[in-house]
């Protein structure tokens, strides 16, 4: 099978899974790959202004359920990921990235001073610094899309969930006051045979309507 067919077949196969088989768990090696796909997600400036909480504690999941419109995916899926974004960006965040870049790329100390100044002038002290959480949330959605696509390619079902109460999630998961806020969640695992939505036709507009060449 060609790589292009493999990709498109995977995307055609995936859907927002409504009923998970609670007895089926994602194998450790598959989850490790999906976890690494999150880490490899691209972000603006490479700043990675988020954290991903993999909620496996049954009691915490049960507490999240009534704050998720009662959607059973929260408790039945194999892995439940909560995406959190920074509430603000500080010079220390930029310095952390600069230090990591210098270390991994073996660059001279001070060689990225101009780049550091540009980032601070934009996302810390500039106009985007005033909307840092909104900016960080957009980076979260890049990670969400990346994880969903990688899951589909590996035959893992997923359901993105915006129908949650972020404030209550923050309390239950101990996020409140950490400099992060919950944005969205993703349930991952394997569809149950009883999920009627798995057999429904995928509803999309024609490519010509959505993709324009200019």
Max Cα distance, the chain (Å):
59
Q: Write the pLDDT tens digit of every residue in 53-90.
A: 999 999 999 999 999 999 999 999 999 999 999 999 99
> What are the Cα distances from residue 111, in Å, to 12, 104, 115, 116?
46, 14, 9, 10
- Give strand pairing partners of 185: 82, 161
Query: Which of 178, 179, 96, 107 has the alpha carbon at shortest distance from 136?
Result: 179
pLDDT for the residue numbered 1: 81
Report the alpha-carbon distance of residue 83 to residue 38 in Å, rounded.
10
**How much is the pLDDT for 13?**
98
d(CA 153, CA 3): 10
Q: Is the pTM of this model over 0.95?
A: yes
To the question of domain 3-210 being in CATH 3.40.109.10, the answer is yes
Is pLDDT at 199 greater than 90 in this prediction? yes
What are 143-168's pLDDT values in tens digits? 999 999 999 999 999 999 999 999 99
């Amino acid at each position: 099978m060609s790589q292009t067919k493999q990709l498109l077949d995977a995307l055609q196969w995936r859907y927002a899974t409504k009923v998970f088989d609670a007895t089926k768990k994602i194998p450790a090696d598959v989850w490790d790959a999906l976890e690494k796909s999150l880490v490899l997600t691209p972000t603006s400036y490479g700043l990675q202004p988020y954290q991903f909480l993999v909620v496996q504690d049954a009691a915490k999941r049960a507490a999240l359920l009534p704050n998720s419109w009662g959607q059973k995916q929260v408790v039945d899926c194999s892995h439940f990921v909560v995406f959190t974004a920074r509430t603000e960006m500080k010079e220390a965040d930029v310095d952390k990235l600069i230090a990591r870049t210098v270390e991994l790329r073996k660059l001279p100390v001070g060689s990225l001073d101009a780049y550091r100044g540009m980032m601070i002038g934009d996302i810390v002290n500039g106009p985007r610094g005033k909307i840092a959480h909104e900016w960080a949330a957009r980076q979260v959605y890049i990670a969400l899309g990346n994880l969903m696509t990688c899951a589909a390619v590996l035959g893992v079902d997923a359901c993105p969930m915006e129908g949650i109460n972020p404030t209550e999630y923050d309390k239950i998961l101990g996020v409140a006051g950490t400099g992060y806020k919950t944005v969205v969640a993703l349930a991952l695992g394997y569809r149950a045979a009883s999920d009627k939505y798995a057999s429904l036709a995928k509803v999309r507009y024609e490519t010509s309507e959505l993709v324009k060449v200019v």
